[in-house]
Amino acid sequence: MAEVRDGLRYTRTHEWVRIEGDVAVVGVTDFAQSELGDITYLELPEPGTTVKQGDSMGVIESVKAASDIYAPVSGEVIEANTAVVDSPEVVNKSPYDDAWLVKIKLSAPEEVDRLMDAEAYRKFLAETAAMA
Amino acid sequence: MSPKVTPLYERHRALGARFIEFAGWTMPVQYEGIISEHLAVRTRAGLFDLGHMGQVIVRGKDALPFLQYLTPNDVAALSAGKAQYSMFLNSSGGVVDDIIVYRVPDTAEYLVVVNAANTEKDLEWLNDHRSQHPEWSVEIEDMSARTGMLALQGPLAEPILHYLTSFDLGTLPSFGIVRTEVAGIATLVARTGYTGEDGFECYCPIERVVDLWDAILEAGQPLGLVPVGLGARDTLRIEAGLPLYGNELSPEITPLEAGLGWVIAWHKGAFLGREALERQRDQGPPRRLVGFELVERGGIPRHGYPVQFESVVVGTVTSGTVSPTLGKTIGMALIARRAAAPGRPLEILIRDRLVKAVQVKLPFYRRSRSTSRSV
């Protein structure tokens, strides 16, 4: 069973968000890494890039497949985790801690309320599994 | 039509497999993970369910001339208990399928093992050509639904199988096949495979394939044997430079273009596709299959991605992967002959970015011969 961590917000495209003041720390969920399998490549936006909620802002690729990483919130990217770009397998090992991907300075903090909380994301995963 | 499953489906589920649809079958793509399964086959051993593949028996007085006409390799050179890699070709020399032809010991039969995606097409192909040549007495029997097929591959494949059979596997050469018992189950054991490692492919009655799977897994577990899915099967064969039908081979690609000219036994006389291949041999094939590795990071070059040489598109990627053994990103591409040579640069269009690559000789990986029993 994929881990869903309390206290985080989630997207339907399996990104997680941790709010630290006016900054959103963003990663992909345990479910996402487990579905993708061995992660081999990451493409993240450069610091300074402005992103809009729902836009593709990067790529995550495994041996099996490549998929987009979507911005869960709008704002300016202030930091990208270059250590995880150099060692993408960290996403498999530590999706909620070491493998945070980018930090985004929120330009529209109210967007966070539109994201799922842990309970809603668990329910969403259960529904996804039931449909498969 | 809903996808088919092999008798091992519940075993795969219990082992935690993830499944994909492949050629009309629901098959395990991975259990523990593609990279760990890949490395297990390179260093220890892996067990594959290949129940999706097709098995066709060709027998009868004229089985030999029939197969000589329909395949480019020299079937007459096959002694009993030996196998050869070969193909079905169309009249343009394009590849209808790539196959293994076994001359089954103790019978006058040939066992032809074909790709899952092509089983029906191949049977039609064989039957059509048989009806065009009523002078040949040939019987074609589709054994696919009655045959279980497992592959046991890796440097520890022989010690593992040794526990389960009284046959002296040390006497079975590369591309040899023997009829014996494995764990008390009547099995054809062939020293063939698709991973670049030593190993075996085992054919048994389909109602015994679960027992055979259980016996091999149990015997191999102390030696680190793991089940392996189609994901690692693909990365293993790419490292070994082995073609996959639908990627490196198709009706529009000839064996000469694919770098498989050695399957053509020019000395043997007429066979379907010969004239076209002779023309291509004399003029030089317009395209060549090449290996390449990325020289910068950029993701995985996947099937169909455009390939450039000196800023001009010269072809497409046929297969690509991260190589778990070599720690590089590698691929194969079918490109214009004028651009093909080891050491020359290429650029691969991955998503919207041109990523630098260099051509390298195939295969990417060759096992050390110390463990080989090749004769």
Taking an 8 Å cut-off on Cβ atoms, the answer to whether B231 and A64 are in contact is yes
pLDDT at residue number A130:
77
pLDDT at A121 over 80: yes
d(CA A20, CA A79) in angstroms, rounded, equals: 14
Question: Minimal CA–CA distance to B111: which of B49, B53, B56?
Answer: B56
H or E element that contains B65: helix B63-70
The range of the structural domain enclosing residue B336 comes to 286-360
| Three-state secondary-structure class, residue A87 | coil
Give the count of Cβ contacts less than 8 A between chain A and B.
36
pLDDT at residue number B250:
98
pLDDT at residue number B111:
98
Residue A91 — φ and ψ, nearest 5°?
-60, -40
pLDDT at B256 over 60: yes
Query: What would the mean pLDDT of B99-121 be, rounded to a whole number?
Result: 96
Q: How confident is the model at residue B375 (pLDDT cuts 50, 70, 90)?
A: very low
Taking an 8 Å cut-off on Cβ atoms, the answer to whether A63 and B235 are in contact is yes
Q: What is the CATH number of the domain that holds B296?
A: 2.40.30.110
Separation in Å, CA of B17 to nearest CA in chain A? 12
pLDDT at B370 over 60: no
Is residue B346 domain-resident? yes
Q: What is the CATH number of the domain that holds A33?
A: 2.40.50.100
d(CA B97, CA B109) in angstroms, rounded, equals: 20
Is residue B352 domain-resident? yes
Is residue A103 domain-resident? yes
CB neighbour list of residue A95: distance below 8 Å, 6 or more residues apart: A16, A27, A28, A29, A30, A32, A33
Is residue A130 domain-resident? no
d(CA A72, CA A10) in angstroms, rounded, equals: 8
**Residue A66: which of B18, B300, B321 has the nearest Cβ?**
B300
Taking an 8 Å cut-off on Cβ atoms, the answer to whether A61 and B299 are in contact is yes
Is residue B374 domain-resident? no
CB neighbour list of residue A110: distance below 8 Å, 6 or more residues apart: none
**In chain A, what percentage of residues exceed pLDDT 90?**
95
Taking an 8 Å cut-off on Cβ atoms, the answer to whether A41 and B299 are in contact is yes
CA B78 to chain centre: 19
- At how many degrees (to 10) do helices B34-43 and B230-239 cross? 60
Contact B355, B348 (CB under 8 A): yes
d(CA B48, CA B116) in angstroms, rounded, equals: 15
**In chain B, what percentage of residues exceed pLDDT 70?**
98
Residue numbers in A near B235 (CB within 8 A): 63
Is residue B343 domain-resident? yes
B196 DSSP 8-state letter: S
pLDDT at B273 over 90: yes
Is residue A62 domain-resident? yes
> What does the radius of gyration of chain A's CA atoms come to, in whole angstroms?
14
Is residue A132 domain-resident? no
**In chain B, what percentage of residues exceed pLDDT 90?**
97
CA trace torsion A33, A37, A38, A39 (10° rounding): -40
**Cα B64 to Cα A8, B57, B139, B140, B203, distances in angstroms:** 68, 12, 11, 12, 22
Q: ipTM value of the model?
A: 0.90
Is residue A52 domain-resident? yes
Is residue B330 domain-resident? yes
Query: What would the mean pLDDT of A89-118 be, rounded to a whole number?
Result: 97
Q: Which is more confidently placed, B368 or B188?
A: B188
d(CA B126, CA B143) in angstroms, rounded, equals: 14
Question: Minimal CA–CA distance to A14: which of A121, A112, A113?
Answer: A121
CB neighbour list of residue A18: distance below 8 Å, 6 or more residues apart: A7, A8, A9, A24, A25, A100
pLDDT at residue number A96:
98
Taking an 8 Å cut-off on Cβ atoms, the answer to whether A66 and B321 are in contact is no
Q: How confident is the model at residue B93 (pLDDT cuts 50, 70, 90)?
A: very high
- Total domains present in chain A: 1
pLDDT at residue number A132:
61
Separation in Å, CA of A37 to nearest CA in chain B? 6
pLDDT at residue number A1:
77
Cβ atoms within 10 Å of B300's Cβ, excluding its own: 23
Residue numbers in B near A41 (CB within 8 A): 297-300, 322
- Total domains present in chain B: 1
Give me chain B's average pLDDT, please. Answer: 96
Is residue A31 domain-resident? yes
Is residue A3 domain-resident? no
Contacting A with CB below 8 Å, chain B residues are: 18, 29-30, 33-35, 231, 235, 297-300, 302, 321-322, 329, 351
The β-bridge partners of A27 are: A16
Is residue A2 domain-resident? no
The range of the structural domain enclosing residue A66 comes to 9-109+116-124
- At how many degrees (to 10) do helices B63-70 and B119-132 cross? 110
Cβ atoms within 10 Å of B266's Cβ, excluding its own: 13
Query: What would the mean pLDDT of A22-46 be, rounded to a whole number?
Result: 97
Residue B170 — φ and ψ, nearest 5°?
-60, -20
H or E element that contains B330: strand B328-336
Amino acid at the residue B65: P
Question: Counting beta carbons within 10 angstroms of the beta carbon of residue A48, is it exposed (0 to 12), middle (13 to 18) or buried (19 or more)?
Answer: exposed
pLDDT at B374 over 50: no
Taking an 8 Å cut-off on Cβ atoms, the answer to whether B33 and A59 are in contact is no
d(CA B311, CA B348) in angstroms, rounded, equals: 10
